[in-house]
């Protein structure tokens, strides 16, 4: 790690104040004996031809969220507590499937665009790859992420509580380009998107969103989509609840009103305290979480630590993240790591001196619209306790005097 002189003296000062340095002092050169991996050739190139992480990183995996009654209608979370920067490796992208992952032959796959259009068309994957393309880095979050309205378990990790979010570079054709090709009729106001999986997942998308920044995505982090992420084609709607980004996309139908599919009537609505239900709550509001130290971590000694975490907003970019180590009594502004992009994960960090006492670690994000992430009390006051979706409250991890970190129940 390279520090600027200012930062070095700040960190050096903090470490010295704690009465020690990070690292083992004394007889450092004695540790320079030549290890076995320096005395022999390593493995040859292209073995394996498609690279995988070091075998020592074997514990870093997606995990099914709750023991699923039906393994194909389930979700798995991203291990955020082990990741760095803002990009989620494709193999660790969270999954949410309503009927498992279909095995689609891209040569046989078609996207049909019909309904209130001048020219109904069927596109092959080759057709779609011929259109001018875009690549953009965006998060995707399931609106069921962090459904911890009523407490929880001290052992829950950030993977359990916040793992239904990931961030990738998505490449594809702007949906607006394909809609221009078919010619949307003036009365066309909503678009039905349908998946080719056994769930035939369907959602209605307003035309304004479809013409804004929606992407027909065929690639993710430089390679074609993984099967779990919708291979060979998915709809990708930046900043909106993950459910709208229909995977294995086979059909877009233009209509003059919403189609009222199962996923926007019985599911993905928010039951309010007065008994009414909010529908079409598309945007994922500003949210943040500390990933290090977080539940399951163990601090071995007092001294300097960097508090690290992630913040995001479906309305734009993150303008500020504040961190509290005393349960919200005082807040300090964290540093935002570049790049800070719209509708994208933003990494924040703050040097922190652990003096050996208990600490309640929290973060709160403000986005470019000025919206401040609410407390859990504020969120429950506004929304009640009847709905599962769209929980974005301030979150905390409890550190005890022995350095163990747990989920706050």
Ligand X SMILES: Nc1nc2c(c(=O)[nH]1)N[C@H]1C(S)=C(S)[C@@H](COP(=O)(O)O)O[C@H]1N2
Stretch that binds Mo ion, among 40-48, 139-147, 189-197, 382-390 (CB under 5 A): 139-147
3-state secondary structure 218-255: EEECCEECCHHHCCCCEEECCCECHHHCCCCEEEEEEE
Stretch that binds Mo ion, among 1-9, 128-136, 172-180, 234-242 (CB under 5 A): 234-242
Please give the C-alpha separations between residue 199 and each of 32, 190, 270, 274, in angstroms, as whole numbers: 58, 21, 22, 32
Nearer to ligand X, 102 or 183 (CB): 102
Stretch that binds Mo ion, among 86-94, 150-158, 240-248, 347-355 (CB under 5 A): 240-248
Q: Is residue 245 involved in binding ligand X (CB under 6 A)?
A: yes
Q: Is residue 247 involved in binding ligand X (CB under 6 A)?
A: yes
Identify what 179 binds: Mo ion, ligand X, none; CB under 5 to 8 Å per kind: none
State the minimum distance, in angstroms, from the CB of residue 94 to ligand X.
Answer: 5
Q: Which of residues 137-166 bind ligand X (CB under 6 A)?
A: 140, 142
In this structure, are residues 315 and 239 in contact, taking their beta carbons and an 8 Å threshold? Answer: yes
Q: Is residue 95 involved in binding ligand X (CB under 6 A)?
A: yes
Q: Is residue 243 involved in binding Mo ion (CB under 5 A)?
A: yes
Question: Judged by CB under 5 A, which of 79, 242, 293, 309 binds Mo ion?
Answer: 242
Q: Is residue 252 involved in binding ligand X (CB under 6 A)?
A: no
β-pair partners for 240:
283
Q: Is 132 exposed, middle or buried (0-12, 13-18, 19+ CB in 10 A)?
A: exposed
State the minimum distance, in angstroms, from the CB of residue 340 to Mo ion.
Answer: 26
Question: Judged by CB under 5 A, which of 62, 65, 93, 96 binds Mo ion?
Answer: 96
- Least Cα distance to 268 among 98, 63, 394, 150 occurs for 98
Stretch that binds Mo ion, among 34-42, 93-101, 311-319, 384-392 (CB under 5 A): 93-101
* Residues 6 or more apart whose Cβ sits within 8 Å of residue 133: 171, 172, 173
Please give the C-alpha separations between residue 310 and each of 104, 141, 345, 368, in angstroms, as whole numbers: 34, 13, 6, 16
Q: Is residue 97 involved in binding ligand X (CB under 6 A)?
A: yes
Stretch that binds Mo ion, among 242-250, 311-319, 326-334, 363-371 (CB under 5 A): 242-250
State the minimum distance, in angstroms, from the CB of residue 243 to Mo ion.
Answer: 4
β-pair partners for 77:
63
Q: Is residue 98 involved in binding ligand X (CB under 6 A)?
A: yes
- Strand pairing class (111-115; 249-255): parallel
Question: Judged by CB under 6 A, which of 62, 94, 308, 344 binds ligand X?
Answer: 94
Token readout for 82 is 């082990």
Q: Is residue 308 involved in binding ligand X (CB under 6 A)?
A: no
What is the spatial distance between Cα 278 and Cα 285, in angstroms, rounded to a whole number?
A: 15
Question: CA 301, 81, 83, 32: dihedral to nearest 10 degrees?
Answer: 20
Give the CA count within 13 Å in the CB-facing half-sphere of 18: 18
Binding site for ligand X (CB under 6 A): 93-98, 140, 142, 195, 197, 199, 201, 228-229, 242-243, 245-248
């Amino acid at each position: 790690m390279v520090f600027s002189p200012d930062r070095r003296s700040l960190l050096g000062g903090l470490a010295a104040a704690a009465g020690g340095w990070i690292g083992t002092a004394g007889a450092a050169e004695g540790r320079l004996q030549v290890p076995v991996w320096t005395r022999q050739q390593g493995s040859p190139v292209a073995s394996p031809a498609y690279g995988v992480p070091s075998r020592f990183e074997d514990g870093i995996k997606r995990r099914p969220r709750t023991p699923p009654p039906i393994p194909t209608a389930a979700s798995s979370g991203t291990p955020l507590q082990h990741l760095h920067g803002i990009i989620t490796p494709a193999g660790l992208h969270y999954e949410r499937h309503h009927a498992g992952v279909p095995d689609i032959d891209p040569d046989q796959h078609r996207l049909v665009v019909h309904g209130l259009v001048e020219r109904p068309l069927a596109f092959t994957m080759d057709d779609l790859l011929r259109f001018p393309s875009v690549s953009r880095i965006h998060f995707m979050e399931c609106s069921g992420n962090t459904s911890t309205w009523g407490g929880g378990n001290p052992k829950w990790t950030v993977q359990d509580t916040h793992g239904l979010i990931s961030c990738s570079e998505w490449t594809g054709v702007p949906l607006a380009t394909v809609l221009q090709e078919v010619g949307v009729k003036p009365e066309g106001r909503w678009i039905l998107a349908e998946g080719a999986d056994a769930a035939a997942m369907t959602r209605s998308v307003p035309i304004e969103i479809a013409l804004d920044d929606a992407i027909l995505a065929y690639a993710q982090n430089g390679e074609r989509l993984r099967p779990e992420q919708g291979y060979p084609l998915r709809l990708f709607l930046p900043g909106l609840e993950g459910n709208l980004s229909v995977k294995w996309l086979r059909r877009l139908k233009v209509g003059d009103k919403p189609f009222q599919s199962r996923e926007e009537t019985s599911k993905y609505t928010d039951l309010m305290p007065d008994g009414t239900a909010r529908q079409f709550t598309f945007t994922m509001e500003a949210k943040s979480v500390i990933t290090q130290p977080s539940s399951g971590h163990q601090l071995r000694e007092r001294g300097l630590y960097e508090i690290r975490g992630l913040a995001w907003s479906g309305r734009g970019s993150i303008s500020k993240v504040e961190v509290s180590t005393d349960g919200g009594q005082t807040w300090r502004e964290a540093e935002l790591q570049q790049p800070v992009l719209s509708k994208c994960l933003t990494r924040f960090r703050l040097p922190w001196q652990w003096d050996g006492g208990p600490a309640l670690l929290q973060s709160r994000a403000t986005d470019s619209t000025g919206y401040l992430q609410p407390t859990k009390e504020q969120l429950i006051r506004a929304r009640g306790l009847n709905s599962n979706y769209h929980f974005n409250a301030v979150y905390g991890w409890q550190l005890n005097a022995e350095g163990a970190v747990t989920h706050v129940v």
